[in-house]
């Protein structure tokens, strides 16, 4: 049974998120046979995307309209995905053919992951290695995502000496049982924060990230793009 060990969040990351009345169904996604991997699961990663950075160059991109146009609301951290991991870099993926998720499933999760096709992709690539049903996968992802208390990224963004460790420490301060060494910060080539990834064991408890999980070095200088002053 999947359950969250983290404390319930007190703030939404989709401020006043309102889904459109009509949402499309995504298209099916299939892997090449060579890409299928059914390696044993040794843990999980909860990948959180920082929307202000993602959207700063995509305001007029129709493919990112739900997340970036402001039509559904202004987003902070959204869920990229819940990923099963292996004991090395060859994580399980594309474990079986994935039916197209329903519009109801899309609607239940669109404020968490505001991209219809990404929801299908995450289910097909990662979720099929965890469970038989899409709703079970997304219920687990939504529970874990909703249980996180996020730090004040606007305040952190003003730190002229900000590094990856300070962000990890900020997550630790906001959440019981989430040690800083379970948090990996992902940046682009210009050191802007793109994602935060939380490493978990097979019981979905935060745990120290394995060495193969990539991220900025603790003392590496990073920057946070924000939409508010």
CATH number, domain with residue 90: 3.90.730.10
- pLDDT score recorded for residue 62: 87
H or E segment and range at residue 183: strand 183-187
pLDDT band at 5; cut points 50, 70, 90: very low
Handedness of CA 32, 49, 149, 17 (dihedral sign): negative
Q: Count how many domains the chain has.
A: 1
pLDDT digits (tens, 9 = 90+) for 54-107: 999 898 888 899 999 888 988 999 999 999 999 988 999 999 999 999 999 999
The band of 226, judged by pLDDT with boundaries at 50, 70 and 90, is: confident
Domain-located, residue 121? yes
Question: How large a percentage of the chain has pLDDT more than 70?
Answer: 92
Q: Which two tokens stand for residue 176?
A: 């019981």
pLDDT at 59: 82
Please tell me the predicted confidence (pLDDT) of residue 176. 93
Q: Tokens 């990834």 correspond to what residue?
A: 197
In-domain check, residue 58: yes
Q: What is the residue range of 88's domain?
A: 14-20+33-200
Provide the sign of the torsion angle of the four alpha carbons 40, 46, 52, 58, taken in this order: positive
In a domain, 96, yes or no: yes
**Domain assignment present for 88:** yes
Region 156-171: what's the mean pLDDT? 97
Burial 110-145 (b: 16+ CB within 10 A, else e): bbbbbbbebbbbbbbbbbbbbbeebbebbbbbbbbb
**Residue 222 in contact with residue 153, Cβ under 8 Å?**
no
Residue 222: inside a domain = no
- Considering the domain boundaries, does residue 40 fall inside one? yes
Please state the rounded mean pLDDT for residues 158-172. 98
**pLDDT in the model for residue 12:** 40
Beta-carbon count within 10 A of 39 CB: 16
Residue 224 resides in a domain = no
pLDDT value for 229: 52
In a domain, 79, yes or no: yes
Task: Give pTM, 2 decimals.
Answer: 0.91
């Amino acid at each position: 049974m999947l359950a969250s060990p983290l404390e319930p969040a007190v703030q939404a990351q989709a401020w006043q998120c309102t889904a459109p009345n009509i949402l499309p169904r995504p298209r099916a996604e299939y892997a090449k046979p060579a890409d299928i991997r059914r390696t044993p699961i040794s843990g999980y990663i909860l990948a959180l995307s920082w929307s202000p950075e993602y959207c700063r160059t995509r305001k007029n991109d129709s493919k990112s309209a739900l997340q970036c146009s402001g039509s559904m609301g202004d987003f902070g951290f959204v869920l990229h995905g819940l990923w099963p991991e292996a004991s090395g870099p060859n994580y399980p993926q594309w474990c079986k053919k994935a039916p197209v998720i329903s519009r109801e499933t899309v609607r239940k999760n669109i404020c968490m992951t505001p991209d219809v096709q990404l929801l299908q992709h995450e289910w097909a690539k990662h979720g099929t290695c965890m469970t038989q049903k899409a709703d079970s996968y997304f219920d687990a992802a939504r529970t874990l995502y909703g249980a996180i208390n996020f730090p004040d990224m606007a305040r952190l963004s003003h730190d002229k000496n900000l590094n990856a460790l300070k962000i990890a420490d900020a997550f630790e301060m906001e959440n019981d049982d989430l040690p800083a060494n379970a948090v990996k910060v992902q940046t682009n080539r210009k050191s802007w924060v793109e994602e935060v990834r939380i490493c978990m064991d097979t019981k979905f408890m935060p745990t120290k990230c394995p060495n193969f999980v990539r991220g900025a070095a603790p003392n590496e200088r990073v920057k946070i793009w924000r939409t508010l002053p």
